[in-house]
Structure 1
Amino acid sequence: MRAVRAAVAWLDEHQGTGREQQTIRILKLTEEAGEAARAWIGATGQNPRHAVTHSVDDVAAELADTAITALVAIESLGCDANQVMADCAAKILARIGRSPAGVD
């Protein structure tokens, strides 16, 4: 989470804080998800005009960008991204009948 908090601090310093910046950081998540989708389309050759343009590693990198962007948005809301993710993971584990102990 050090990178996430550093990114938030850098964004706050260069772009400011407040509701507008929170909104932009949440909207940025949509942009990143679109890049992941575009990479998947490219990796599977689903655009006949371009054939295969991306690798699975490209898709994974775009998904990682999307995940980091979501964590930055969470922290920008003033929430602890670690805690929010832990709470979310616990809900998922409970839903699928798994114990959260020892699971990352």
Structure 2
Amino acid sequence: MLKLSEEVGEVAQAVIGATGQNPRKGVSHSWQDVQSELCDVIVTAMVALTALTADAGDVFDTHLAKVAERSLGPGRRRPGEA
């Protein structure tokens, strides 16, 4: 779980670097770096979820369906769904 916090911190560093918010370093990262770090967060979270349950994929799918329904409204489908 601590690794997840580390990865989120790396996203923050990349955003700061992509926007040039650190005057000492200027623009030190790209938006592709931010995307890569976000992917690392997702992978690390799935590894942590897998450590908690053998059904990590099912747990994630169920949760994602709930988030989609909450975001899109009941009975609405995500783009590309039949």
User: Gaps (5+ residues) in structure 2?
Assistant: none
Other-structure match for 1:64: 39
Other-structure match for 2:23: 48
| Offset, 1:63 | 0.5
Q: Which amino acid aligns with 1:102?
A: E
What's the secondary structure of 2:18's corresponding residue?
helix
User: Gaps (5+ residues) in structure 1?
Assistant: 1-25
RMSD, aligned α-carbons = 1.7
Other-structure match for 1:30: 5
| Offset, 1:99 | 2.6
Higher relative contact order, chain-length normalized (CA < 8 Å, sep 6+): 1
Q: Give percent identity, aligned residues only.
A: 50
Q: Deviations over 1:15-46 (max 9, x none)?
A: xxxxxxxxxxx111000000011001000001
Query: How do 1:8-27 and structure 2 match up within 5 A?
Result: 26-27=1-2
* Structure 2 CA distance for aligned equivalents of residues 79 and 27 of structure 1: 20
1:88 corresponds, among 63, 69, 81, to 63
Other-structure match for 1:73: 48
| Offset, 1:80 | 2.0
What's the secondary structure of 1:46's corresponding residue?
coil
* TM-score of the aligned structures, taking structure 2 as reference length: 0.85
